[in-house]
Structure 1
Amino acid sequence: MIYVTGDCHGNFARFEQKNFPEQANMTKDDTVIITGDCGGVWFGDSRDDETLDWLERLPFTLAFVCGNHENYDALARYPVAEWHGGKVHCVRPHVLHLMRGQIFELESYRFFTMGGAKSHDIEDGILEPDAPDFERRL
């Protein structure tokens, strides 16, 4: 099964059992795709670990495409692997960043990924996690 959502901005409450009861019957072979602004990799260091570990424990595979509010530098530091025909950054074994310009085949559907964009609400389109007003700009 494939589910699609978007714009989490680091708030993953939608994946709690009470909000997404369908996951009770899902396995790691099922995929939820976040179509931009995932926000799980905000800082690129141990501050992300608790959230990313929680996402890894979900019963499905979580895959996401870049949005205009991502930490691109941090994502680029994760190892690259092949998954369903395209390249991913392996954030966790079942938390995957679908790299741009790739074609993935899931359950006989093909997906082309071209995430990321210049942000209308961030100077120069770049979100800097160390900026003093980082939380306000999310």
Structure 2
Amino acid sequence: MAVYVTGDTHGDFSRLGIFAKTMGIRAEERKERDICIVLGDACLNYFCDARDEANKEEVSRLPFDLFCIHGNHEARPETVEGYEQTEWHGGTVYRQKEFPHLFFARDGENYDLAGNKTLVIGGAYSVDKDYRLAYGYRWFPDEQPSEEIKQRVERKLDETGWKTDIVLSHTCPLKYQPAEMFLSGLDQSRVDRTTEMWLDGIEDRLSYGKWYCGHYHVDKQKDRIEFLFQSIRLLG
């Protein structure tokens, strides 16, 4: 079993299909299906109606399990009808029984993936919030981690002694923000960076090996932080 990781898909999973075909990945030939992690904004819980169901049916044809981190352009699975909590690779995930190969992470859980203890922290602020509201695109008020979620994450870290092998998040610690990807013409003083500031404090205290994040639509690495968008990597 291999575990891959990639950036935001925004409902378009064509690159994953091309990747699977290129790599010769066939689910029926494996005892355990490979896993592909999407670092937020998979957008499979965007419309919360039949349109999402059709997209999930299409994605379910991919020859690996899809493990999605919460982004900022999608509903939290716990707020969508039909999701149940179940145990998966040592942590709690959300899954709909109609789609047994689609899994959605619960913030603060530590999953065992390819032998790595893997901490998940989703969510981010939408810098395009005003645009989305003005033009009728969906915006989700609970896009950022709440105080309750932050406390749960920190309790989990207390339990593990503030150690993990890998971190999967949507946005990144404040000190690592790729300023070159900021939207031109946007007043940066209006951007809510409380999640990034909180992640900065997490990163300062945490003993970890590698940190993957999406959100910024860039493929780059700085220190142990790797931003992914179109690229697909083996985890770790």
Please say whether Structure 1 and Structure 2 have the same fold, judged by a TM-score greater than 0.5.
yes
Normalization by structure 2: what TM-score? 0.49
Deviation at 1:132, TM superposition (A): 5.4
Task: Name the residue aligned to 1:31.
Answer: 35
Gaps of 5+ in 2: 139-236
Question: Could you report, residue by residue, the CA deviation over 1:59-106 in whole angstroms, capped at 9, with x for unpaired residues?
Answer: 11000101121112xx11311111011111104211100111100001
CA contact (8 A) 1:23 1:60 kept: no
Question: Is the counterpart of residue 134 in structure 1 residue 137 in structure 2?
Answer: yes
Say whether residues 1:8 and 2:13 are aligned partners.
no
Contiguous gaps of at least 5 residues in structure 1 = none
Q: Tell me which of 81, 85, 93 is aligned to 1:88.
A: 93
Q: Which has the higher strand share?
A: 1
Quick check: which has more Rg, 1 or 2?
2
CA RMSD after TM alignment: 2.1
The 1:83/1:23 distance shift into structure 2, 3 A limit, reads farther
Moved >3 Å (runs of 4+)? 25-28
Task: Among all aligned residue pairs of Structure 1 and Structure 2, give the percentage whose two residues are the same amino acid.
Answer: 34
Contact 2:46-2:73 within 8 A present in 1 as well:
no
CA contact (8 A) 2:107 2:122 kept: yes
User: What residue in structure 1 maps to residue 109 of structure 2?
Assistant: 102
As a proportion of its length, which structure holds more helix?
2
Alignment pair present for 1:111 and 2:111? no
Q: Aligned residues, how many? A: 127
How far the C-alpha of 1:108 sits from its partner, in A, is: 0.6
The question of 1:56 aligning with 2:60 is answered: yes
